[in-house]
Amino acid sequence: MKNLKLKAARAGKDLSQEDLAKICGVSRQTMSAIEKGDYNPTINLCISICKALDLTLNDLFWEE
């Protein structure tokens, strides 16, 4: 399932996939795969993404 919340939050902070990937210490391809729903990130990576975007795990990764 695509993570549209992550994509929207990243765009809202005016960050490219490359920018967010660098902040989180992963490749742009990894960030792309997370947004596409092709990769399940570790909890540590999820936390890193949330901190970079000033959001909670529930905000970005909890399905409604």
For each of the chain's 64 residues, which pLDDT tens digit applies?
789 999 999 999 999 999 999 999 999 999 999 999 999 999 999 999 999 999 999 999 887 6
What's 32's domain CATH number? 1.10.260.40
Reading the block at residue 34, the tokens are 């997370």
The answer to whether residue 51 sits within a structural domain is: yes
The answer to whether residue 39 sits within a structural domain is: yes
The answer to whether residue 64 sits within a structural domain is: no
Count of structural domains within the chain: 1
Its domain, for residue 8, covers 4-57
SS (H, E, C) 1-64: CCCHHHHHHHHHCCCCHHHHHHHHCCCHHHHHHHHHCCCCCCHHHHHHHHHHHCCCHHHHHCCC
State residue 33's pLDDT score. Answer: 97
State residue 53's pLDDT score. Answer: 97
Give residue 24's identity as a one-letter amino acid code: C
pTM, 2 dp? 0.91
CA angle centred on 32, ends 26 and 35, rounded to 5°: 115
The answer to whether residue 10 sits within a structural domain is: yes
The answer to whether residue 27 sits within a structural domain is: yes
The answer to whether residue 63 sits within a structural domain is: no
